[in-house]
Structure formats: structure tokens, C-alpha cells
């Protein structure tokens, strides 16, 4: 069998994606279980997207992104969002220097490769929008000067699903800027036993830096080259359109349950995430399995439910499942 | 003198004559009233009857009754005025009965009732008075030596037919609806049980699939450069066959999901191998621009034919596989 172009691409991907195994090896030293979270972090990193993480406290969210930053020899900042946080605390500000008798720029913690925005919904909208604007523009203006943010720039924001009092939920338009919304759950019993042993022993394993940020930037370029066939494009648009116009896709029952469906950004991110997933799986082309693997994470925060759906305890997960089970696979 | 005397006595005679004429007219009309009992207890009801005798052709104005006959006598109800046949003297008799009572003790006078009438051919109105009556209302004898009795509760008035009527109509209505529903469902049941007799037996899925595969071979798609279309049709035929034969929703499944879904069926491993290999080649053609050799194209169709022929007898899931799976889950 002759595979034109793709064969070369596959070989290139085999070469360029070797670091994936190294990253996994290092990450597995400190993170037990949560394979999906690590994989999603890699997808975000490779496709230049940001991640919104939802999970109860203590599930190694901070440890994961800190370890990833360490493995990639990158800067890491952790910002705890609180109700009194100001945009300047995040982005930086101008400070008057008595020595030089002029205002100097003091950059904020956002100037790092990896940002953990912990409990993003605890801060008011002005701080949230400052972060989300920086995420979108990849640059920050302090005073009269505009500073580019470092590349790669990955934001992992967390939300606690159990405490809603005194929070400022992210508006739909802001949530849409996150490429993936990952829901993480508790580890399995066996995994928890390993976590327990690791934490009560005297020696805590440490990660080593195995690749540089330049390698990641190179890998990103390769990810963009991953082949996406027209059949897969149609499959993606069918899935997103089914979330917008369910009746046209034999899903009339969702007509009153979905208030709004996925945006064009959903289609773009579904394609990009699928490409990154194929890259992680060492493939030079996207197959329907890749789309299905990332569909939940790309769509769950982009489908709005109506009051009827909430009254009937219907979740976006169920809607996405039904859409995937109804749309014909190419 | 003589003239004065004449005028005086003539006037007196004329007045007397006119008075006599009125008296004579009144004498022709006679009103008589009577009561069914002249002594009653307070609240006891009796019949008050008023009769009027008048020559034929007299116009009588019968009184319009209100609530009372007098201050102490109350009218409970009254019957219509009856007109009796002419007597032998050519008089008309009219009669009306009223049910009356009184709640005041003592001797009560029922006043005469005035009935107005006009003789035939005369527009003047005359009055005939009925006789007055006395009614004795005696108090209830109270035994003061007896002990006080408790207050009686509210007594229910006996149900009348008109009160029960809506219930009867409602009950009949419900019974009719129930009878109609029973009739409808019995008729429908009969129809559905009769239907299969006329239904054309469905064609077995494997025959349809084999025919479609043979047609695909004759279409010579890959020979004309339509390799992608050839593999799309090839997989569509087999996926539809799997869905109809094994009730696995293969049309909406990816290759991995289809293979995983068929694990529960006891299909010959060699046939499964052929299916798996062909689906993978098809994925490469459809999504990775693969160009299989002519031999591979022919073999793919042959493998699919073999799979259909070898698997069509295995429509039921293997019990062993299911029980193992269930044990794992539990």
C-alpha cells in the first residue's frame, strides 16, 4: 500500500513526538493516575489552547502543571484568584523609582509560560477579563508599553464545582476562549493507595527537565501539519451543527433542552485538539476516534442548557453522548 | 216652594237610585275566604282559600300576592288561580289556594281581601271584599320540669333527584368512555395480531449485504480511480449489515468501537481478523490518503464477503462473553 505524503508525515511525527514518551515518563513519576488530565495538558500545549479544569480540591491540579513546567524547562506562576484581586496584581503595573526618578514597569505573574489560575471564578469580572484578554491577545499593555507574553503560553484555570457562594461565574463568551474544559474526578482505589505511599515516604520523586520550550514550538508546527481529511471536517461540522440545530440531526428531543450550541470556535478547537491528539498517538492523520476522544472536552462548556434541561437534570455530557451516538461516523 | 221641594227629593231619589244600582252590581259578585284550620302552632302551615263568584263576562283583577297576607301571616307559596265551570245560574267561580303560616302567638286577624272587577260592557271598577278571618296561634307547651336537652346538630336535608342527577350523568359518561377504550384497544390488538399475516417477511441482512457487495464489485469504482468512494461504500455496507444483524450501532461507531462491540458475539476469529484488517485499510484510505494496491482492493471486498458469510449465523451474543463481562462489572 502506498501512502503519499502521509508516510513522510508519519515518519516526521514519529521523530518529532518522541518527547511525548519522555514527558509522560517524567509526569508519571509525580502524578499517579489522572492520565486524561496529563493528556489534555499536552493537547493544550501542542495546539496552543488554554484549559479550564473543573474538579474538587486536592486532585493534583497544581502539581500537574508545575511538573509540566519543570519537565519543559519553562516558567511557572500560580495565581490564587480572590475577590480583592486587581488586574494590576495579575498583569503588572508602573512603579515610581526614586533612584531613576521615573516610572518603571513591574511585570505581573502572568509573564510566565505556564499559568495556574486557581479558582478563577473567585475574582470579579474585571480580573477575569484581564486574564482572558491576555490569553486571547498573547500580549499585555502596561502604561504605554505593550509586552508580548512568552511562548509557549498555557493557562490552566481551575473552578471548584462544589462551592458556588461568593463566586463570579465566567460568562459564556469568556468560557468559550478556553480550548478545553476538563472535568477531573477522584483517582481509583489502587491509585489512591500509591498516592498515599508516595506522600508518606521520605523521598518525594522529582521531575527532570527533558525538553525545551523550543522543542514544543517545533512540535506545534508539526501538529498543524497533521492531515485532516474532508470527511473528518464534515464529521466535525455535523457534530457542532447537531448541537445548534438538533432537529435536523434526528435529535428533536434536544430542541427545547439546548439554548445555544457550539460556536465556530468549537469547530476550530475540535479540529486542532483532534490533530494534537493524533500527534500524541503518533499518527500523521486524524481519524474519527480522535474527534470522539476530545469532543467532550471541547464541547461541554460550549453548549448552553435551557431551564427545562436543568429541571430534568439533563447534563451537557448526556447531550454530547447522544450527538456522538447519532451522527454517522465517516 | 213646590219647585224647591221637587228638586230636593228628586236629587235624593236619583242618588239613592245610583247607589242602589252599585249595590245591585256588587251583590252579583261574591268573595269568600276560608282557612283549613283556625288554631295552629307557631310555624304550622295551613291553607287559605279565596273564592270569587261573578257573572260570566265580568273582568276580575286578581290580587298579586307578596310575602304576607297581613303583618303576622306569611305566605309560604301559592297555587295558580283556578276557574271552575259555570254554575246553573251562569256564574263563574274562581279559586286560589295559598299556604300560609304565622309565628306570632295569639289571636290574629286575617283582613278581608279586596278583589276588583268590571261588569260586562262597563269600564267602571267595582270592589268586592272577602270576609275577614281570625286565626289562633297557640304557643308550644314547654315542660319546665324536664332537663335541658343538648343542641341538635345540623341535619342534612334528604337528597333530591336533581342533586343526584349530575353524578349519575358523570358515572354514565365515565362508563361509556371506559367501554369505548376497551373496544378500541381490543380492536387495535386484533389488528396488530392480524398484521403479521399480511406483512412481507424481511430479507435477512446478510443476503442484502452480499448482494450490495457484489454490486459494488461490478461498479468497478477503484478501477476508475474512485478508491476513496469504493472504500466508503464498502465500509458502509458492512457497517449496516453489522447494525442489522448484531444490533450494534455500527453506523455511528468508529472502527475500534465496532470491533469492541462485536467481541460479545462468538464470531470466527479469522473472520474478525479479516474485518479488522479491512476496516483499518479503509480508515487509511478515507482519512490518510492511502492508495492500496489493486490486490488489496480486491482482497478487501473478498474479506468483507467472507466476514458476512461466516458471521451471519451468530446474531446472538455469546453467553460466556456476556457473563464474564457482567462479572467484571460487578
Chain B interface, best mutation among A4, A225, A232, A287, by max B CB count within 10 A: A287
B172 burial via Cβ count (<10 Å: 0-12, 13-18, 19+): exposed
Using DSSP's 3-state secondary structure scheme, residue B78 falls into strand
Question: What pLDDT is recorded for position B317?
Answer: 55
Residues 6+ apart with CB under 8 A from B102: B40, B42, B43, B72, B73, B74, B108, B135, B137
Q: What is the nearest CA distance from B277 to chain A, expressed in angstroms?
A: 13
Grid cell digits, residue B226:
474512485
Which chain A positions have a beta carbon within 8 Å of B256's beta carbon?
289
The minimal CB distance from B289 to the residues A3, A326, A328 is found for A3
| Chain center to CA of A111 | 18
Task: Provide the domain limits for residue B105.
Answer: 25-137
Measured distance CA(A194)–CA(A17) in Å, rounded: 29
Q: Please say if the pLDDT value at position B170 is more than 90.
A: yes
- Kindly determine whether residue A288 and residue B254, on different chains, have CB atoms separated by under 8 Å: yes
**Residue B150 counted as domain residue:** no
- Kindly determine whether residue A329 and residue B254, on different chains, have CB atoms separated by under 8 Å: yes
What is the DSSP secondary structure assignment for residue A121, as one 8-state letter? Answer: G
Question: What pLDDT is recorded for position B22?
Answer: 54
Measured distance CA(B269)–CA(A110) in Å, rounded: 56
Which is nearest to A227 in space by CA: A2, A5, A55, A60? A5
Measured distance CA(B276)–CA(B258) in Å, rounded: 9
pLDDT tier at B124, thresholds 50, 70, 90: confident
Mean pLDDT of the A2-7 span: 60
Domain count, chain B: 2
- With CA atoms as reference, the chain B residue closest to A322 would be B252
Residues 6+ apart with CB under 8 A from A323: A239, A242, A243, A246, A249, A251
Q: Are A111 and A70 in contact (CB under 8 A)?
A: no
Q: Are A162 and A185 in contact (CB under 8 A)?
A: no
Q: Please say if the pLDDT value at position A296 is more than 90.
A: yes
pLDDT tier at A8, thresholds 50, 70, 90: confident
ipTM value for the complex: 0.75
Q: What is the nearest CA distance from B266 to chain A, expressed in angstroms?
A: 25
**Residue B87 counted as domain residue:** yes
pLDDT digits (tens, 9 = 90+) for B320-330: 444 444 444 43
Q: Are B208 and B236 in contact (CB under 8 A)?
A: no
Residues B32, B131 share a domain: yes
**Residue B326 counted as domain residue:** no
Question: What pLDDT is recorded for position B219?
Answer: 87
Question: What pLDDT is recorded for position B330?
Answer: 38
- Residue ranges covered by each domain of chain A: 39-186, 224-326
Which chain B positions have a beta carbon within 8 Å of A227's beta carbon?
287-289
Mean pLDDT of the A16-24 span: 85
Q: What is the nearest CA distance from A300 to chain B, expressed in angstroms?
A: 20
pLDDT digits (tens, 9 = 90+) for A153-196: 888 888 877 666 778 888 877 788 899 999 888 888 888 888 88
pLDDT digits (tens, 9 = 90+) for B269-302: 888 998 999 998 898 888 888 888 888 888 899 9
Q: Are A141 and A184 in contact (CB under 8 A)?
A: no
The minimal CB distance from B287 to the residues A2, A286, A327 is found for A286
A220 interfaces chain B, CB cutoff of 8 Å: no
Q: What is the nearest CA distance from A283 to chain B, expressed in angstroms?
A: 10
Phi and psi at residue B114, to the nearest 5°: -90, 125
Q: What is the nearest CA distance from A294 to chain B, expressed in angstroms?
A: 14
**Residue B190 counted as domain residue:** no
Q: Mean pLDDT across chain B, nearest whole number?
A: 84
Q: What is the CATH number of the domain that holds B67?
A: 2.60.40.740
Q: Are A147 and A111 in contact (CB under 8 A)?
A: yes
Which is nearest to B55 in space by CA: B91, B93, B24? B91
- Kindly determine whether residue B288 and residue A227, on different chains, have CB atoms separated by under 8 Å: yes
Q: Please say if the pLDDT value at position B74 is more than 90.
A: yes
Pairing verdict, β A114-118 and A76-80: parallel
Domain boundary among B90, B116, B137: B137
Question: What pLDDT is recorded for position B320?
Answer: 44
Q: Are A77 and A114 in contact (CB under 8 A)?
A: yes
Chain A interface, best mutation among B239, B289, B294, by max A CB count within 10 A: B289
Grid cell digits, residue B2:
213646590
Quickly name the fold that domain A224-326 has.
Helicase, Ruva Protein; domain 3 (1.10.8)
- When mean pLDDT is compared across A90-104, A283-297, B3-17, the lowest value belongs to B3-17
Residues 6+ apart with CB under 8 A from A181: A51, A52, A53, A54, A175, A297, A300, A301
Q: CB pairs below 8 Å between A and B: how many?
A: 63
Measured distance CA(A261)–CA(A243) in Å, rounded: 5
Which of A184-188, B10-14, B61-65 has the largest mean confidence? B61-65
Question: What pLDDT is recorded for position B181?
Answer: 95
CATH placement of domain A39-186? 3.40.50.300
Amino acid at each position: 500500500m502506498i501512502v503519499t505524503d502521509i508516510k513522510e508525515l508519519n515518519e516526521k511525527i514519529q521523530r518529532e513526538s518522541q518527547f511525548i514518551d519522555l514527558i509522560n515518563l517524567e509526569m508519571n513519576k509525580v502524578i499517579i493516575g489522572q492520565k486524561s488530565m496529563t493528556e489534555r495538558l499536552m493537547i493544550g500545549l501542542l495546539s496552543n489552547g488554554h484549559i479550564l479544569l473543573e474538579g474538587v480540591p486536592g486532585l493534583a491540579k497544581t502539581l500537574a502543571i508545575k511538573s509540566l513546567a519543570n519537565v519543559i524547562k519553562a516558567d511557572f506562576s500560580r495565581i490564587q484568584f480572590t475577590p480583592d484581586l486587581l488586574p494590576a496584581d495579575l498583569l503588572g503595573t508602573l512603579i515610581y523609582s526614586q533612584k531613576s526618578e521615573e516610572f518603571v514597569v513591574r511585570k505581573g505573574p502572568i509573564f510566565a509560560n505556564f499559568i495556574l489560575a486557581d479558582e478563577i471564578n473567585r475574582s470579579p469580572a474585571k480580573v477575569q477579563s484581564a486574564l482572558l484578554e491576555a490569553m486571547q491577545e498573547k500580549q499585555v499593555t502596561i502604561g504605554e508599553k505593550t509586552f508580548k507574553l512568552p511562548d509557549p503560553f498555557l493557562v490552566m484555570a481551575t473552578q471548584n464545582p462544589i462551592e458556588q457562594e461568593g463566586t463570579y461565574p465566567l460568562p459564556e463568551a469568556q468560557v468559550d476562549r478556553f480550548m478545553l474544559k476538563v472535568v477531573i474526578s477522584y483517582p481509583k482505589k489502587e491509585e489512591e493507595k500509591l498516592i498515599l505511599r508516595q506522600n508518606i515516604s521520605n523521598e518525594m520523586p522529582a521531575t527532570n527537565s527533558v525538553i525545551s520550550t523550543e522543542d514544543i514550538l517545533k512540535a506545534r508546527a508539526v501538529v498543524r501539519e497533521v492531515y485532516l481529511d474532508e470527511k473528518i471536517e464534515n464529521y466535525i461540522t455535523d457534530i457542532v451543527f447537531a448541537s445548534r440545530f438538533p432537529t435536523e440531526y434526528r435529535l428533536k428531543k434536544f430542541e427545547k433542552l439546548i439554548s445555544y450550541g457550539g460556536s465556530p470556535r468549537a469547530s476550530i478547537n475540535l479540529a486542532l485538539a483532534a490533530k494534537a491528539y493524533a500527534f500524541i498517538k503518533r499518527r500523521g492523520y486524524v481519524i474519527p476516534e480522535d474527534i470522539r476522544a476530545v469532543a467532550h472536552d471541547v464541547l461541554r462548556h460550549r453548549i448552553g442548557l435551557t431551564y427545562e434541561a436543568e429541571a430534568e437534570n439533563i447534563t451537557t455530557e448526556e447531550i454530547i453522548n447522544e450527538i456522538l451516538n447519532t451522527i454517522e461516523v465517516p | 216652594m213646590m219647585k224647591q221641594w221637587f228638586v230636593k227629593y228628586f236629587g235624593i231619589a236619583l242618588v239613592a237610585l245610583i247607589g242602589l244600582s252599585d249595590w245591585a252590581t256588587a251583590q252579583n259578585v261574591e268573595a269568600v275566604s276560608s282557612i283549613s284550620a283556625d288554631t295552629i302552632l307557631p310555624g304550622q302551615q295551613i291553607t287559605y282559600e279565596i273564592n270569587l263568584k261573578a257573572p260570566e263576562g265580568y273582568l276580575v283583577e286578581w290580587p298579586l300576592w307578596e310575602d304576607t297576607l297581613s303583618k303576622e301571616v306569611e305566605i309560604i307559596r301559592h297555587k295558580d288561580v283556578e276557574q271552575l265551570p259555570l254554575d246553573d245560574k251562569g256564574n263563574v267561580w274562581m279559586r286560589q289556594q295559598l299556604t300560609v303560616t304565622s309565628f306570632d302567638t295569639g289571636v290574629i286577624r286575617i283582613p278581608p281581601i279586596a278583589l276588583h272587577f268590571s261588569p260586562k260592557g262597563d269600564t267602571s271598577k267595582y270592589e268586592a271584599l272577602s270576609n275577614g278571618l281570625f286565626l289562633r296561634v297557640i304557643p308550644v307547651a314547654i315542660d319546665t320540669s324536664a332537663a335541658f336537652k343538648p343542641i341538635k346538630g345540623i341535619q342534612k336535608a334528604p337528597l333530591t333527584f336533581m342533586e343526584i342527577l349530575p353524578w349519575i350523568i358523570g358515572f354514565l359518561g365515565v362508563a361509556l368512555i371506559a367501554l369505548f377504550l376497551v373496544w378500541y384497544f381490543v380492536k387495535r390488538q386484533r389488528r396488530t395480531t392480524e398484521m403479521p399475516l399480511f406483512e412481507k417477511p424481511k430479507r435477512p441482512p446478510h443476503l442484502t449485504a452480499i448482494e450490495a457487495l457484489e454490486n459494488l464489485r461490478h461498479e468497478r469504482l477503484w478501477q476508475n480511480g474512485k478508491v476513496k468512494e469504493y472504500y466508503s461504500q464498502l465500509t458502509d455496507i458492512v457497517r449496516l449489515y453489522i447494525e442489522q444483524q448484531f444490533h450494534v450501532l455500527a453506523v455511528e461507531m468508529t472502527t475500534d468501537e465496532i470491533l469492541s462491540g462485536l467481541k460479545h458475539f462468538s464470531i470466527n476469529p479469522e473472520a474478525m481478523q479479516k474485518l479488522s484488517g479491512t476496516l483499518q485499510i479503509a480508515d487509511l484510505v478515507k482519512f490518510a490518503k492511502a492508495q492500496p494496491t489493486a490486490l488489496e482492493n480486491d482482497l478487501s471486498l473478498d474479506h468483507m464477503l467472507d466476514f458476512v458469510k461466516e458471521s451471519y449465523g451468530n446474531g446472538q451474543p455469546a453467553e460466556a462473553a456476556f457473563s464474564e463481562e457482567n462479572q467484571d462489572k460487578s
